């Protein structure tokens, strides 16, 4: 009987029980450190934001074809790339050619922000955005670059940004996970390590919601099983487990894990309510694009994000992919922009209307930018290669300079040349906005105190309001 209960517990897998188990695992780790449960913690300094939504455009969106126009490329289009005068892209091989953007650009909002013409809805919230053109990555390979933007370490195994935030600030709602990720059906390169807890206690990792069907398996009890039945079953199970604990008092860790049943029972009400989009009115569903085939998937994620944040989840990460447009960039990027444009604009407008944007930080980025040069197939199938030297990020919400464009790239979009910073400085800035000091947010592991930035960084002051 004992082994059966233990095997059942460890076999909870991708169900609601696994979320509860993650929470209890973290409480174990916290109790070992301080003897206190995992409650909300005081920030290091007054925060500008209390929570974060991280919009990850997996695959590397092209800054040149979204928010950073380069007219010079129109003059050089399909001319052979001169390697003696300019640096070719990091993936250069064979004959290379300059590639102009297939999209036209215009300035939008009172801020005059530049956007390509495929953004139809984002211009409506342009003055909420702070564009940053000075960021540089350190890798042009998708797995290492994704690990870097997500975890601060190109080689994986370290805690994700959301895990660090959860560790530093604690949870707001005891009945919900503190860090939730909404991935694509096909996970990004590098897999779940992109949102793992690394060397931090296990609960700080993200809970991944399923992109299709029920977001969480076994969210509702089987047919014919009422709350009364569940309560009676849990009470009986608790009696048996406590008897076992009396006979084996050294198994305190198992006892903590068995408490996850109780947390899962409590979560059934809160989680089910938060993820029920049927509670939203028809206008809201339409605004997020949930009724349109090409926007429904990401619209659903954006609306989930708002509801999760509204209910006390600290950090929500959304994935949209793949932006790896080596060929046919007009078609590929055009479709990708169209899929996320309306949902993102609706999310920002909805957050503003509900009074949530003021203390919620929203971040939009990929793992790197793209090159001004590429190979050409048949004269029409041109796209762009990976480029770590120039990438576009925008931020919105708590504490950022809305309605501004910070930094710049050169006339070809090949490299950042103004207000240039590495990814670790972006991470330090995000933590700062959330009230956390990267140099104080550390965890002792493998003989030293570790931090998100790896070895320190500085706040990008130009991004702060």
- Return the CATH number at 115: 3.40.720.10
Rounded Cα gap, residues 222 and 375, in angstroms: 56
pLDDT at residue number 265: 60
The predicted pLDDT at position 211 comes to 79
Going by C-alpha positions, the residue among 98, 78, 77 that lies closest to residue 414 is 98
Q: Residue 144's CB: how many other CB atoms inside 10 A?
A: 18
What backbone torsions phi and psi does residue 417 show, to the nearest 5 degrees?
Answer: -130, -10
What pLDDT was estimated at residue 87? 60
Give the pLDDT confidence of 133-182 residue by residue, as tens digits: 999 999 999 999 999 999 999 998 999 999 999 999 998 888 888 999 99
Determine the straight-line distance between the first and last CA of the chain, rounded to whole angstroms: 60
Q: Which pair of tokens denotes residue 362?
A: 């929203």
* Same domain, yes or no: 115 and 240: no
- Section 284-303 average pLDDT: 97
Percentage of the residues of the chain whose pLDDT score is greater than 70: 82
- Please give the average per-residue pLDDT across 31-35, as a whole number: 42
Expressed as residue numbers, the domain containing 425 is: 40-214+282-463
Domain boundary among 206, 240, 274: 274
Q: What is the pLDDT of residue 457?
A: 97
In this structure, the answer to whether residues 78 and 107 fall within a common structural domain is yes
Least trusted range by pLDDT, from 62-66, 277-281, 381-385: 381-385
179 and 167 in a single domain? The answer is yes
Please give the average per-residue pLDDT across 317-339, as a whole number: 95
The answer to whether residues 253 and 129 belong to one domain is no
Q: What is the mean pLDDT of residues 272-280?
A: 89
The whole-number pLDDT of residue 32 equals: 40
Query: Are residues 308 and 435 part of one domain?
Result: yes
Same domain, 303 and 446: yes
More confident position, 378 or 57: 57
Please write the tens of the pLDDT for every residue from 96-110: 889 999 999 999 999
Poorest-confidence range of 82-91, 133-142, 314-323, 327-336?
82-91
Least confident of 22-36, 360-374, 442-456: 22-36
More confident residue, 13 or 365: 365
Looking at residue 6, its pLDDT comes to: 42
Residues 139 and 230 in one domain: no
How far is Cα 436 from Cα 46, in angstroms, rounded to an integer? Answer: 9
Same domain membership, residue 257 and residue 120: no
Query: CB of 163 within 8 A of CB of 25?
Result: no
226-266 pLDDT per residue, tens: 667 767 776 777 777 777 777 776 655 555 455 455 555 65
**CA distances, 337 to each of 68, 114, 119, 295 (Å):** 15, 15, 7, 10
Q: Which of 415, 411, 380, 377 is nearest to 94 (CA)?
A: 377
Residue-wise pLDDT for 373-409, tens only, equals 887 766 667 899 999 999 999 999 999 999 999 999 9
Question: Measured on CA atoms in the order 291, 178, 455, 437, is the torsion positive or negative?
Answer: positive
Given 274, 291, 310, the domain boundary residue is 274
Same domain, 139 and 156: yes
Q: Work out how many domains the chain is built from and give that number.
A: 2
Instruction: Note every long-range contact of 214-221, with CB atoms under 8 Å and residues 24 or more positions apart, other chains counting.
Output: 215/275, 215/304, 216/15, 216/16, 216/19, 216/271, 216/275, 217/14, 217/15, 217/16, 218/15, 218/16, 218/17, 219/16, 219/268, 219/271, 219/272, 219/275, 220/268, 220/272, 221/268
Same-domain status, 298 and 201: yes
Confidence of residue 1 (pLDDT cuts 50, 70, 90): very low
pLDDT in the model for residue 10: 41
Residues 222, 19 contacting (CB under 8 angstroms) = no
Average pLDDT (67-81) is: 94
Instruction: Decide the pairing of beta strands 129-136 and 179-182.
Output: unpaired
Task: Assign 36 a pLDDT band (cuts: 50, 70, 90).
Answer: very low
Grade residue 430 by pLDDT with cuts at 50, 70 and 90.
very high
For residues 314 and 418, state if they share a domain.
yes
List of residues 6+ apart from 86 with CB closer than 8 A: 412, 414
Q: Are residues 195 and 288 in the same domain?
A: yes
- The chain-wide mean pLDDT, for the chain, equals 86
Distance CA 438, CA 58 (A): 25
């Amino acid at each position: 009987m004992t082994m059966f209960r233990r095997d059942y517990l460890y076999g909870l897998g991708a169900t609601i029980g696994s979320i509860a188990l993650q929470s209890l695992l973290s409480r174990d780790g916290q109790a070992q450190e301080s003897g206190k449960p995992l409650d909300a913690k005081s920030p290091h300094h007054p925060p500008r934001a209390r929570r974060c939504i991280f919009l990850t455009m997996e695959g590397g969106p092209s800054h040149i074809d979204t928010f950073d126009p380069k007219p010079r490329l129109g003059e050089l289009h399909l001319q052979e790339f001169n390697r003696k005068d300019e640096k070719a892209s990091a993936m250069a091989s064979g004959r290379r050619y300059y590639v102009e953007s297939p999209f036209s650009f215009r300035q939008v909002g009172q801020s005059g922000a530049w956007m390509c013409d495929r953004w139809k809805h984002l211009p409506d919230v342009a003055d909420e955005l702070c564009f940053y053109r000075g960021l540089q990555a350190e890798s042009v390979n998708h797995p290492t670059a994704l690990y870097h933007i997500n975890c601060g370490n190109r080689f994986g195994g370290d805690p994700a940004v959301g895990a660090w935030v959860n560790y530093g600030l604690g949870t707001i709602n005891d009945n919900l996970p503190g860090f939730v990720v909404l991935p694509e059906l096909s996970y990004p390169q590098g897999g779940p390590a992109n949102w793992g807890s690394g060397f931090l206690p296990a609960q700080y990792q993200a809970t991944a919601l399923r992109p299709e069907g029920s977001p969480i398996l076994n969210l509702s009890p089987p047919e014919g099983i009422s709350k009364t039945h569940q309560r009676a079953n849990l009470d009986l199970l608790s009696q048996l487990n406590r008897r076992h604990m009396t006979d084996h008092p050294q198994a305190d860790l198992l006892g903590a894990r068995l408490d996850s049943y109780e947390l899962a029972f409590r979560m059934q009400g809160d989680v089910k309510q938060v993820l029920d989009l049927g509670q939203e009115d028809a206008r809201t569903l339409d605004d997020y694009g949930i009724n349109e085939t090409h926007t429904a998937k990401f619209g659903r994620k954006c609306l989930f994000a708002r509801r999760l944040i509204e209910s006390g989840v600290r950090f929500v990460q959304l994935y949209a992919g793949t932006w790896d447009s080596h060929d046919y960039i007009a078609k590929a990027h055009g479709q990708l922009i169209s899929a996320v444009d309306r949902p993102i604009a609706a999310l920002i407008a909805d957050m503003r209307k509900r009074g949530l944007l003021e203390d919620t930080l929203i971040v939009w980025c990929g793992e790197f930018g793209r090159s001004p040069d590429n190979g050409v197939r048949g004269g029409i199938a041109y796209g762009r290669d990976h480029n770590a030297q120039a990438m576009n990020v925008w931020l919105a919400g708590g504490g950022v300079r809305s309605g501004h464009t910070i930094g710049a790239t050169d006339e070809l979009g090949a490299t950042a040349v103004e207000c240039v910073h590495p990814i670790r400085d972006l991470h330090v800035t995000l933590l700062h906005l959330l009230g956390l000091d990267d140099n104080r947010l550390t965890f002792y592991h493998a003989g030293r105190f570790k931090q998100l930035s790896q070895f320190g960084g500085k706040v990008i002051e130009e991004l702060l309001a």
